[in-house]
Amino acid sequence: MNSAIPIAMTDVFGNEKSCNQQTPNWRYHKIYGDETNFYYGYVMDVVLSDGSVVPACQASRDQRATATTWRAVMQRWPHINRPFEAGEQIEFETTISFDRAQTTGDNVNYYGQTFRYVLGQGLTVNNRDGAVGPLNVNDSFAQLGGNTTVPQLSASGGAQQRLSFMQHAYNLDRANVQAWLDGRRLIHTNFTTGEHVEEFLPGPQAINGNLPFPEMAGLTNNPIQPSCTQCHTLNGVGDMQERQDVVPPKMFGLGLLENIPQQTIEQWAEENGGTVNYVTVEGQQYVGRFGWRAETMSVEHQIAKALHDDMGIGTSFEGFGPMDLADNHVQDMVVYTKLVAVPIPRQNLTSMPGHSRFQEFGCNTCHKMTVQTGTDSDFPELSNQTIHPYTDLLLHDLGEGAFRTAPLWGVGLGGYVKSGNTEALTLMHDGQASSIDAVMQRHGGDAQTQSANYFNASQQARNELEDYLMAL
């Protein structure tokens, strides 16, 4: 490979990162272990200008810094009884490493799409692996968020699974990488002190992570919390906050929801009697999509409202001034929030009995299962995607007031992401429902027919629906 590869940062203790954190990873044979590991792995060697080769782990810092040619030599490992075969995939990737607290030998990455070389065929494009996780989930609903969907990195829980809502879109466009990282830094910035906030990361990343952002210090005014991530736990549902009557919602897949055509949402309203909450911005009327009451029309609108109402930070967005936070920082937050990936379900949904039960009970009347996004030239990642959000973005009154239909993707992961306990769910607008059954007990009003269908069904049928939702 002929390319300059940036040297990784030193860790917080001043130690140089180890060789396998400096170069792309090359992997062979898609035989999954936990965290989707290959059973073959290689580190690239440095090829010097005179043609001599220096093994990567023996190359000096200067040699790595100036190298433009890299080589990976693959050979069969004796402890794995499998030869190199035509049609097998050789996968290589570059990773985004952003935390200086990562010590040598301990690396947390944000992964994007990989490159795949098929033996006997060559480098391939649009070759997304159908077996996108250790459980071989690959049916028609596997890509809940279209091509933004990220694999399940761990089937057994642990740190990787708790980070399920914090990955970037699997198809992240290179033009948006820097803004995504800059936006992430802002989402994790304490706007009172300027300190970086990581509520949870494995190992030393939890301490002495990203450097402070002093330019952001002192921007808050009577904040509910001084950082976004202190409400939205690991981008999932958070706890009820002071001065609030709804819980902070999940923060992934939002760019896809914004890209659902307005006419589609209005058509859903005609079909199921839901209410479109129209909002006016700069004299024009838009469909409200975000917030428990669908009070904002775009991700940018929602960010501006949250900054203003929850932190006392003004922006240039109409109604939320005077401006404290510059437009470029707001736009970085928009890029990040739009491009947080939707996680893959943990099972093949279409083969589960609950897939039929969901429709038999009428849940899909409001929790729309499938929709096509429109086109957005600024975000090709979100354009023309077939997604499965399980929402209509409309207001419905279930007997406790009108609230927007909650997207159900990721609902089964919510408890584990928040607390490490799969069963500890935080559901409904007030977070007071802790099980699927408790949710159904509160589905009156517009959803009383669906609730009756559920409670009149057999215990087996209800269990099948619950298992289905927990697999989302």
Question: pLDDT, tens digit, for every residue of 244-271?
Answer: 999 999 999 999 999 999 999 999 999 9
pLDDT in tens, 370-392: 999 999 999 999 999 999 999 99
Please report whether residue 119 resides in a domain. yes
Query: Looking at the predicted structure, is the pLDDT value of residue 195 above 70?
Result: yes
**Structure confidence at residue 77 as a pLDDT band (50, 70, 90):** low
Do residues 192 and 281 share a domain?
yes
The reported pLDDT for the residue numbered 15 is 56
Do residues 390 and 447 share a domain?
yes
Do residues 329 and 433 share a domain?
no
Do residues 221 and 191 share a domain?
yes
pLDDT in tens, 401-450: 999 999 999 999 999 999 999 999 999 999 999 999 999 999 999 999 99
Do residues 295 and 428 share a domain?
no
Do residues 291 and 361 share a domain?
no
Please report whether residue 1 resides in a domain. no
Query: Looking at the predicted structure, is the pLDDT value of residue 206 above 60?
Result: no
Please report whether residue 204 resides in a domain. yes
How many domains are there within the chain? 3
Please report whether residue 445 resides in a domain. yes
Map 104-126 to HEC letters: CCCCCCEECCCEEEECCCEEECC
The reported pLDDT for the residue numbered 158 is 74
Do residues 290 and 186 share a domain?
yes
Please report whether residue 310 resides in a domain. yes
Give the best-scoring range by mean pLDDT among 10-19, 99-108, 115-124, 245-254: 245-254
Least confident of 72-76, 125-129, 183-187, 452-456: 125-129
Distance CA 355, CA 359 (A): 7
From 339, 364, 399, the end of a domain falls on 339
Bridge partner list, 27: 41, 91
From 124, 149, 166, the end of a domain falls on 124
Query: Looking at the predicted structure, is the pLDDT value of residue 111 above 60?
Result: no
CB atoms within 10 A of CB 377: 6
**Number of residues that this document lists for the chain:** 472
The reported pLDDT for the residue numbered 119 is 82
Judged on CB neighbours under 10 Å (0-12, 13-18, 19+), 316 is middle
Phi-psi label, residue 86: left if phi above 0, alpha if psi -120 to 50, beta otherwise = beta
Least confident of 69-83, 98-112, 218-232, 369-383: 98-112
Do residues 308 and 182 share a domain?
yes
From 339, 372, 405, the end of a domain falls on 339
Least confident of 120-134, 191-205, 226-240, 370-384: 120-134
The reported pLDDT for the residue numbered 441 is 97
Judged on CB neighbours under 10 Å (0-12, 13-18, 19+), 382 is buried
Least confident of 47-61, 66-80, 189-203: 66-80
Do residues 259 and 331 share a domain?
yes
Distance CA 149, CA 456 (A): 35
Written as six digits, the tokens of 461 are: 């049928």
Do residues 115 and 188 share a domain?
no
Q: What is the mean pLDDT of residues 102-112?
A: 48
Do residues 82 and 69 share a domain?
yes
Of the candidates 88, 78, 92, the residue with the CA atom closest to the CA atom of residue 24: 92
**Structure confidence at residue 394 as a pLDDT band (50, 70, 90):** very high
Distance CA 77, CA 42 (A): 11
SS3 395: strand
Q: Please provide the average confidence, as pLDDT, over all residues in the chain.
A: 85
Contacts of 239-243 with CB under 8 Å at 24 or more apart are 239/426, 239/431, 240/430, 240/431, 241/310
Written as six digits, the tokens of 392 are: 């209509």
Residue with tokens 């044979």: 29
Question: Which value, in Å, is the radius of gyration of the alpha carbons in the chain?
Answer: 24
Q: What is the mean pLDDT of residues 325-339?
A: 98
Distance CA 213, CA 386 (A): 38
Please report whether residue 136 resides in a domain. no
Please report whether residue 203 resides in a domain. yes
CB atoms within 10 A of CB 300: 20
Q: What percent of the chain has pLDDT over 90?
A: 60
Bridge partner list, 280: 285
Do residues 371 and 315 share a domain?
no
Q: Tell which wins on pLDDT, 306 or 200.
A: 306
Is the dihedral angle over the CA atoms 292, 298, 299, 301 positive or is it negative? Answer: negative
pLDDT in tens, 129-167: 544 444 567 789 999 999 999 877 666 677 778 889 998
Please report whether residue 147 resides in a domain. no
The reported pLDDT for the residue numbered 98 is 53
> Could you tell me the residue range of the domain that residue 190 belongs to?
176-238+245-339
